[in-house]
Structure 1
Amino acid sequence: MLARLNRLARRTAAALALASALASGLAAPAAAAPALWAIRDADSTIYLFGTVHVLRPDTAWRTPGIEAALAESDELVIEVLGADDPAAARPLILKYGVSTDGPLSSKLSPQDQARLEAAAAAAGLPPQALEPLRPWLAAMSLSIAPVIKAGYRVGSGVETVLTAEARAKGRPVEGLETLEQQIGFFAGLPPETELAMLKSTLEEVDEGPAKLDALVKAWADADLDLLEREFVTEMREKHPEVYEALAARRNRDWADQLKAKLAGSGVSFVAVGAGHLVGPDSVQAELAKRGVTVERR
């Protein structure tokens, strides 16, 4: 049981790094230029950078503008500390990810159960390992495997790289939310929405790497329209409850936190998933509602 829990913790930690995209390779081009924004007042600057949480090791994304903003910054702010830490995820899996209302197979049709068994086999998991899990955790455990097989790594993700660099330089690293909060967003979904999330994953799990390839290219090219369509529009239309829980509500909270930070002084580099920085409910849109101007760099 402990060995199985450790494996699930590792998978969950990796999948959480994919959560903002709800994704399930093309490396970014050498001339990549992901979008960067700035918020300023008399004594504060906040750089706002959209990221991809998992990348291939050879993906190019750093630009002179990004490097200058990082060099100027006093601190790094990311979505959550410890999102890639299995030890931190393990007790939260027990608390939020284990079913209390019967095995997973009892909630699935024969067709969906067959899909689950096929996806589990492809991920190297025996189907019985998923039986105790709530649908949201089963979905995340299955969605990460094809992406990892395609060469993507959490360790190459933007936040992981920037966090290591900031700590090496002795700069503080803060999180906008806790790991328990982030897992709680999934665990708090209505049961029918949680099950729909798993079914959608089973239908689209094989498309994960290709979809992420397209998203990484759009991100590297700063194609904000495509990012909005892929990150926001699809989720907003197909799964509005998931969109509200994983995107819109969090964007409102982060906008409040950034406005409060602007009232202080100093320079902060804020790196969050690119999907939070596009669309009608983006962090920038929420900041505008609070009277804060965000400028594209």
Structure 2
Amino acid sequence: RAVPPAEGRGPALWVIRDADSTLYLFGTVHLLRPTTGWGTERIDAAFDSADTLVLEISNPDDQAAIIPLVQQHGLAPAERLTLKLTSGELTLLDNAARAMGLTAAQMDPFRPWFAALTLSVAPLQKAGYDPASGVELILKARAEAADKPVTGFETVDEQIRILAGFPEADQLAFLRSTLEDFENATVELDRLVEAWAAGDVEAIETIGVEPMRESSEELYQALLVRRNTNWADQIQTMLEGSGSAFIAVGAAHLAGDDSVQEILERRGVDVDVAP
């Protein structure tokens, strides 16, 4: 699929080099409107020069892998979600559910993390955001067309277990936060996408990273810090080998004091803005 051209310099891109390795780091947005412009010659040149594409997971479009994991970790009919909410929260849940063609009663078997994730995506899709226009799926299709191997830092199972493994109090806090922000979710993502498309990494930190840390330190540590640390480990292993790779992960992982780049820099690995 053709990507509309970005205005100006476009999204941020970094590069890590040693004697026999070149690794590009590119922040992504998982859902985009098809009209969002983010294509640039520098991104295309970096992608084309790479031997391998590295994503968070190698198969982000594999519903056959995701569905059984959601059934295993996301549903708990005996626990009854609606009994864990106040009457006010239940009203918010029902209103949000109805906006996506469901009811609170139909979400009763959902574990809190899965209810929160479902409700966080629904208003975005209604506003024209589409997973098929997300950066990962477009890059994956390009890589496959060019016979470029696609690998992942994590598996779908690992990603789902991170969310499913939160203590219930943290899952409920995630759900409450999602319900409170439901009406403004599209506005916030619009701001984030605008910052990302313009390469404004400080704004990405302000919009996408800081609010997560303020709402829950445990969420911040689990979703960003520990994963960024793991990915930095894998990048250093890649540098011990040779070759080139285009690494594309969510933009929030490449912003702030605990970003992948900052972790690498603290370990003595130079990360430069790509020319």
Q: Structure 2 length as normaliser, TM-score? A: 0.95
Asked if 1:283 is matched to 2:257, the reply is no
Q: How far apart, CA to CA, are the structure 1 residues paired with 2:85 and 2:60?
A: 29
Name the stretch that deviates more: 125-134 or 98-107. 98-107
What does the per-residue CA deviation read over 1:149-194, in whole Å, with 9 as the maximum and x for residues that have no partner? 1111101111100000101111100000000100111011111010
1:156 pairs with 2:113: no
Tell me what 1:11 maps to.
none
Say if 1:248 and 1:282, in contact at 8 Å, map to a contact too: yes
Residue 65 (structure 2) aligns with = 88
For the residue of structure 2 that corresponds to 1:116, the secondary structure is helix
TM-score, L = length of structure 1: 0.88
Deviations 1:76-116 (A, max 9, x none): 00001233332211110122111266200110001101110
Aligned amino acid, residue 31 of structure 2 = V
d(CA) in 1 for partners of 2:214, 2:81? 27
After superposition, the Cα gap between the structure-2 partners of 1:168 and 1:29, relative to the gap in structure 1 and judged at 3 Å, is: closer
Q: Aligned residues: percent identity?
A: 48
In 2, the alpha carbon distance for the partners of 1:185 and 1:226 equals 26
The corresponding residue for 2:46 is 69
In 2, the alpha carbon distance for the partners of 1:268 and 1:101 equals: 46
The answer (yes or no) to whether the contact 1:28–1:220 under 8 Å persists in 2 is: no
**1:135 match:** 112
- Whether 1:171 aligns to 2:148 is yes
Aligned to 2:29: 52
Tell me which amino acid in the other structure corresponds to 1:198.
L
1:79 partner SS: strand
- CA offset at residue 264 of structure 1? 0.7
Greater CA deviation, 284-293 or 97-106? 97-106
| Residue among 230, 240, 243 paired with 2:207 | 230
Q: Which runs of 5+ in 1 are unaligned?
A: 1-26
2:180 counterpart (178, 197, 203): 203
Q: Which runs of 5+ in 2 are unaligned?
A: none
Q: Distance in 2 between matches of 1:190 and 1:84?
A: 28
For the 8 Å contact 1:97–1:136, the answer to whether it is kept is yes
Q: Distance in 2 between matches of 1:139 and 1:166?
A: 32
SS at match of 2:56: strand
2-side partners of 1:146 and 1:267: how far apart? Answer: 38
Query: C-alpha deviations, 1:253-287, integer Å up to 9, x for none?
Result: 00000000011111100000110001110000111
User: Quick one: which of 52, 67, 80 aligns to 1:103?
Assistant: 80
Kindly provide the amino acid, as one letter, of the partner of residue 184 in structure 2. Answer: E
**Structure 1 residues 150 and 100: CA distance shift in structure 2, 3 A:** closer
Contact 1:32 1:60 (8 Å CA) reproduced: no
Partner SS for 1:213? helix
Q: SS of 1:281's equivalent? A: coil
Report the alpha carbon displacement of residue 206 of structure 1 after superposing the two structures with TM: 1.2
For 2:245, the equivalent position in structure 1 comes to 268
Would the alpha carbon gap of residues 146 and 124 (structure 1) be closer, same or farther in structure 2, given more than 3 Å must change?
same
Greater mean deviation of Cα atoms: 68-77 or 124-133? 124-133
State how far apart, in whole Å, the 2-side matches of 1:30 and 1:278 are: 21
Matched ranges for 1:176-195 at <5 A: 176-195=153-172
Matching residue within 11, 15, 27 for 1:34: 11
3-state SS of 1:271 partner: strand
1:250 Cα deviation from its structure 2 partner? 0.3
**Counterpart code for 1:62:** G
- Classify 1:28/1:198 alpha carbon distance in 2 versus 1 (closer, same or farther; 3 Å): farther
Root mean square deviation of aligned Cα: 1.4
Structure 1 segments of 4+ aligned residues over 4 angstroms from their partners: none
Measure the CA separation in 2 of the matches of 1:159 and 1:240. 27
Question: Match for 1:214 among 184, 187, 191?
Answer: 191
